[in-house]
Structure 1
Amino acid sequence: MSYHKDRKKVREALIESGVVVVMNKKHVTNPQDMITTMWEVYQAGFVAETTFRIDAGILREAMKELTGMREESPKEKPFILGCGSVINPDELEQAIDMGFDMIVAPGNVMGGHGEGAEFVKITREAEVFSAPAILTPTELQYFIERPDGLEPDAIKVFPAGVHGASGIGGLLAPYVRDRHEGRIIMPTGGVNSETAAAFRKSISAAGYIPVLGMSAPLALVAGEKKPGDAETIRKSLQQFKESMAE
Structure 2
Amino acid sequence: MSAIDVLIRLSTIRVLPVVVIDDAAQAVPLAHALVAGGVPCAEVTLRTPAAVDAMRAMAGVPDFVVGCGTAVTADQVEASVEAGARFVVSPGFDESVADRCRALGMPHVPGVATATEVMRARAAGFTVQKFFPAAPLGGAAAIAALAGPFPDLRFVPSGGVGLAEAASYRLDAVHSVSTSWVTPRDAIADGRFELVVDRARAFREQVVA
Where on the TM-score scale, by shorter chain, does this alignment land: which range? 0.7 to 0.9
Greater gyration radius: 1
Matched, 1:62 2:54: yes
Task: Report the Cα distance in structure 2 between the residues aligned to 1:91 and 1:22, rounded to whole angstroms.
Answer: 17
Q: TM-score, normalised by structure 2?
A: 0.85
Q: Give the counterpart of 1:134 among 100, 112, 118.
A: 112
Q: SS at the partner of 2:182?
A: helix
Query: Residue deviations 1:218-240, cap 9 Å, x none?
Result: 24x63x57544333332333444
Q: Give the counterpart of 2:131 among 139, 157, 175.
A: 157
Q: Who is 2:32 aligned against?
A: 39
Contact kept in structure 2, 1:104 and 1:131, CA below 8 Å: yes
Matched, 1:13 2:9: yes
Q: Give the counterpart of 1:124 among 99, 102, 105.
A: 102
Q: What percent of counterpart residues are identical?
A: 24
Aligned residues: 206
The alignment yields a C-alpha RMSD, in angstroms, of 2.4
Give 5+ residue unaligned stretches, structure 2: none
Contact kept in structure 2, 1:32 and 1:228, CA below 8 Å: no
Change (3 A) 1:188 1:162: same
Q: TM-score, normalised by structure 1?
A: 0.73
Structure 1 residue ranges, 4+ long, deviating more than 6 angstroms after superposition: none
Task: Report the Cα distance in structure 1 between the residues aligned to 2:121 and 2:53, rounded to whole angstroms.
Answer: 33
Q: Who is 1:79 aligned against?
A: 64
Aligned-pair distance for 1:30?
0.8
- Structure 2 letter corresponding to 1:131: V
Task: Report the Cα distance in structure 2 between the residues aligned to 1:243 and 1:8, rounded to whole angstroms.
Answer: 25
Contact kept in structure 2, 1:200 and 1:210, CA below 8 Å: no
Matched, 1:214 2:184: no
Query: Relative CO higher for 1 or 2, CA cutoff 8 Å, sep ≥ 6?
Result: 2
Query: Residue deviations 1:77-130, cap 9 Å, x none?
Result: x32111101122332222122220011001112xxxxx3xx4333212212110
